């Protein structure tokens, strides 16, 4: 009895010492991290609680709840006067330097050896841990080189997958209204359609593969937030712990994808070697093929490995799934909560049905480009219902730092820059009624111009009008980024969302919702209203 009491007391003492040691470790880690972070010029104005120790700790806590508000405050106080300001960031990152819209191209035109997109993204997504050590840049560069040039040939397959996925997820009952969770519906459609382009038709319809994709995407989001709140010095421990489930999800996905990747790899290598029987063989166009093809061209033999290719899929699964689902989810909430008398849904239904008939019952690149109202509705939702305060970040990697000649300050090595998407896209000086969802804000001008006789079309005006399309980026519309590092998949996303919306509205009835559910902000990103539901049923007379 006495012995058990003593052991119990020793256990309590040991536990207390472990807890105390962990607390001291993390306190020390935060202190070390703080001393390593770059110091910014005193003349740059600050938002938040100040730069002292107490202020820094309050900023780390306040970042979770107030980051979006802080950036909005700085936009009104400083950005609109063409001045730069500093806003607190998460504990793992240096404070962020927010440059005004007038200096957008100054930041974006600097070479990668001076300010790095990859390093900035790594500070946000923790590539080493979330993407299992392979990074994201190689996969993104392959998409840059191959997706746009193959998109025309991919459209029939994307259309097929959209139709089948929507039918499967939403059902075909023409009698009973069905209550559906809107987020779950989009999560059922987008990964399947996206993976038609990434891994082809056989894998993209595998339910276990798709379930693992969704789990993996959710894990990246959660892990990124967790790691952002820990000091960098602790990441080698914390990062490996929190991403155990990433490894498990990849392993389950890879068991399904590897047979296809291995066969494609063997066939393409045989064709490249000129083996008999492969003269007329043509590989399926998807990311697997593009990755192998680019690795052969570059002579990069380390990438000609099936497991490596399966890991290269991971950052694309995250980027293409997460952002597209949020965009589609917000789009339907914006449309369904708009005043029905505005006729948004009926107008988009009429436009998509008409163009679809004109194209012979199949989508083409040219036909999709004529969906002015549909395109405008999506772009307007991207403008109004932004899912992040910023999607453009750059990190100073030049050892000597950079000099801002416009304002006369110097940013040291390691400084983190951002462009404010939220402030620009809700600026009343740039957009009339900026907090109103005007679905046809961009299409009115485009339609009016397209309907003019050719002899009355001004070339310069035509160029300006063409820039109102959703895939065109600018310093006042940053949803897809801007400059040479703008999202390379935006043309695919545009086609995908247009096809989904067209099929949805022409084949289903959806009841309007009285009020748009509001998202919540967590740090720099929103948490969408995940519980939002819609009432839906199949239209009679559709097949």
Mean pLDDT of 298-313: 93
CA 160 to CA 524: how far, in whole Å?
Answer: 36
55 touches 29 (CB < 8 A): no
Query: What confidence tens digit (pLDDT) does each residue in 159-187 have?
Result: 999 999 999 999 999 999 999 999 999 99
Take residue 266 and report the two structure tokens written for it: 């063997």
Query: What confidence tens digit (pLDDT) does each residue in 371-402 have?
Result: 999 999 999 999 999 999 999 999 999 999 99
What separation, in Å, do the N-terminal and C-terminal C-alpha atoms of the chain show? 77
- pLDDT beyond 80 at 135: no
Return the residue matching tokens 């998407």. Answer: 421
Q: What is the dihedral of CA 526, 73, 381, 155, to 10 degrees?
A: -70
Q: Which candidate, 143, 126, 123, places its Cα nearest to that of 135?
A: 126
Take residue 104 and report the two structure tokens written for it: 């957008």
Higher pLDDT, 440 or 31: 440
- pLDDT beyond 80 at 334: yes
Annotated ligand binding at 487? The verdict is yes
Take residue 108 and report the two structure tokens written for it: 């974006």
Confidence of residue 22 (pLDDT cuts 50, 70, 90): low
Q: Which candidate, 318, 10, 260, 259, places its Cα nearest to that of 135?
A: 318
Classify residue 472 by its DSSP letter: -
pTM equals 0.92
Mean pLDDT of 353-380: 97
pLDDT score at 465: 87
Where b means 16+ CB within 10 Å and e means fewer, 497-531 reads bbbbbbbbbebbebeebeebeebebebbbbebbee
The string of DSSP codes covering 355-380 is HHHHTTSS--HHHHHT-HHHHHHHHH
Domains, the chain, with CATH or none: 134-172+179-386+431-475+479-538 (1.10.630.10)
Query: What confidence tens digit (pLDDT) does each residue in 141-165 have?
Result: 899 999 999 999 999 999 999 999 9
* 3-state SS class at 46: strand
Confidence of residue 37 (pLDDT cuts 50, 70, 90): confident
CA 81 to CA 76: how far, in whole Å?
Answer: 8
Strand ranges inside 381-422, DSSP E: 392-396, 402-404, 409-411, 416-419
pLDDT score at 459: 77
Q: Which helix (H) or strand (E) covers residue 463, if one does?
A: helix 459-466
CA 370 to CA 285: how far, in whole Å?
Answer: 26
Confidence of residue 60 (pLDDT cuts 50, 70, 90): confident
As a whole number, the mean pLDDT across the chain is 92
CA 120 to CA 467: how far, in whole Å?
Answer: 28
What are the two backbone dihedrals, phi and then psi, of residue 174, each rounded to the nearest 5 degrees?
-95, 0
Residue partners of 447: CB distance under 8 A and separation at least 6: 372, 373
Higher pLDDT, 231 or 99: 99
Among the residue ranges 299-303, 349-353, 356-360, the one predicted with the least confidence is 299-303
Mean pLDDT of 462-491: 92
Mean pLDDT of 238-253: 96
pLDDT score at 392: 95
CA 324 to CA 321: how far, in whole Å?
Answer: 5
> Would you put residue 89 in left (φ > 0), alpha (ψ -120 to 50) or beta?
beta
Residue 1: HSE in the Cβ half-sphere, 13 Å Cα cutoff:
0
How much of the chain is helix, strand and coil, in % rounded to 5?
Answer: 60, 10, 30
Confidence of residue 7 (pLDDT cuts 50, 70, 90): very low
Q: Which candidate, 85, 58, 60, 61, places its Cα nearest to that of 73?
A: 85
Mean pLDDT of 438-461: 87
- pLDDT beyond 90 at 272: yes
What are the two backbone dihedrals, phi and then psi, of residue 229, each rounded to the nearest 5 degrees?
-95, -5
- pLDDT beyond 90 at 140: no
CA 327 to CA 390: how far, in whole Å?
Answer: 15
Confidence of residue 20 (pLDDT cuts 50, 70, 90): low
Residue 62: HSE in the Cβ half-sphere, 13 Å Cα cutoff:
19
């Amino acid at each position: 009895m006495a012995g058990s009491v003593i052991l119990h007391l020793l256990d309590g003492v040991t536990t207390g010492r472990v807890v105390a040691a962990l607390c001291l470790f993390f306190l020390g880690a935060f202190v070390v991290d703080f001393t390593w972070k770059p110091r910014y010029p005193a003349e740059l104005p600050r938002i938040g609680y100040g730069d002292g120790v107490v202020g820094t700790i309050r900023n780390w806590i306040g970042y979770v709840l107030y980051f979006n508000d802080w950036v909005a405050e700085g936009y009104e106080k400083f950005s609109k006067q063409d001045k730069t300001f500093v806003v607190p960031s998460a504990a793992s990152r240096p404070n962020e330097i927010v440059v005004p819209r007038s200096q957008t191209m100054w930041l974006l035109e600097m070479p990668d050896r001076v300010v790095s997109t990859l390093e900035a993204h790594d500070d946000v997504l923790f590539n080493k841990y979330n993407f299992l050590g392979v990074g994201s840049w190689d996969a993104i560069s392959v998409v840059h080189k191959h997706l746009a040039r193959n998109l025309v040939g991919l459209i029939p397959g994307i259309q097929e997958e959209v139709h089948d996925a929507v039918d499967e997820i939403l059902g075909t009952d023409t009698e009973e209204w069905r209550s559906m969770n809107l987020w779950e519906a989009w999560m059922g459609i987008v990964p399947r359609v996206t993976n038609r382009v990434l891994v082809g038709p056989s894998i993209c319809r595998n339910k276990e593969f798709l379930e693992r994709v969704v789990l993996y995407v959710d894990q990246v989001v959660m892990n990124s937030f967790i790691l952002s709140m820990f000091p960098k010095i602790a990441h080698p421990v914390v990062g490996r712990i929190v991403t155990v489930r990433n490894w498990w999800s990849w392993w389950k996905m890879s068991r399904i994808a590897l047979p296809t990747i291995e066969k494609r790899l063997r066939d393409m290598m045989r064709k490249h070697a000129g083996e008999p029987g492969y003269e007329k063989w043509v590989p399926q166009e998807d990311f697997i093929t593009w990755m192998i093809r680019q690795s052969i061209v570059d002579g990069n033999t380390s990438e000609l490995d099936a497991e490596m290719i399966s890991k290269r899929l991971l950052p694309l699964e995250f980027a293409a799934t997460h952002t597209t689902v949020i965009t589609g989810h917000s789009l339907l909430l914006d449309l369904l909560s708009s005043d029905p008398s505005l006729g948004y849904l009926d107008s988009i239904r009429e436009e998509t049905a008409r163009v679809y008939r004109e194209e012979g019952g199949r989508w083409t690149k040219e036909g999709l480009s004529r969906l002015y109202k549909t395109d405008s509705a999506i772009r307007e939702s991207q403008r109004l219902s932004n899912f992040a305060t910023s999607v453009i970040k750059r990190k100073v990697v030049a050892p000597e730092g950079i000099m801002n000649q416009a304002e006369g300050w110097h940013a040291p090595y390691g400084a983190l820059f951002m462009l404010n998407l939220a402030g620009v896209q809700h600026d009343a000086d740039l957009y009339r009624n900026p907090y109103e969802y005007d679905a046809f804000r961009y299409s009115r001008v485009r339609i009016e111009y397209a309907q003019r006789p050719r002899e009355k079309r001004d070339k310069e005006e035509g160029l300006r009008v063409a820039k109102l399309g959703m895939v065109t980026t600018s310093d006042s519309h940053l949803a897809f980024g801007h400059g040479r590092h703008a999202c390379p998949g935006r043309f695919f996303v545009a086609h995908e969302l247009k096809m989904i919306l067209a099929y949805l509205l022409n084949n289903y009835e959806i009841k309007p919702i009285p009020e748009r559910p509001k998202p919540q902000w967590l740090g720099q990103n929103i948490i969408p209203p995940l519980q939002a539901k819609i009432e839906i049923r199949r239209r009679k007379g559709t097949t």
